[in-house]
């Protein structure tokens, strides 16, 4: 996993995992599928751990439960749009809350 410092991000936002089951396979795939609709590089940070937001295996490593605070970061031409859409997905409980 490569470093993705917030200072390199074109857009970033903190969100809390809302759905009761946290990040399990289904919400991870919803997140990854949405992230892959954007050209920008997407990363997700939990504490000091940063993963590729377009890689489902790395996303599962976050083991984020309900209430976990995540930092969403993106770099690229559509970074703001990507972060807006991904933050809305997380905040709305991936359609499961």
Catalytic residue set: 24
Q: What angle do CA 6, 28, 44 make, to 5 degrees?
A: 5
Half-sphere exposure of 15 (CA within 13 A, CB side): 25
Bridge pairing between strands 41-46 and 49-52: antiparallel
Residue tagged 């399990």 (tokens): 24
């Amino acid at each position: 996993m490569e470093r993705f410092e917030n200072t390199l991000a074109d857009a970033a936002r903190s969100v809390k995992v809302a759905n009761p089951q946290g990040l399990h396979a289904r919400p991870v795939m919803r997140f990854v599928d949405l992230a892959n609709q954007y050209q920008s590089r997407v990363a997700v940070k939990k504490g000091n751990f940063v993963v590729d937001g377009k890689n489902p295996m790395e996303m599962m490593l976050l083991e984020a439960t309900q209430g976990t605070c995540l930092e969403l970061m993106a770099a690229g031409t559509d970074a703001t749009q990507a972060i807006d859409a991904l933050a809305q997905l997380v905040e709305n409980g991936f359609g499961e809350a």
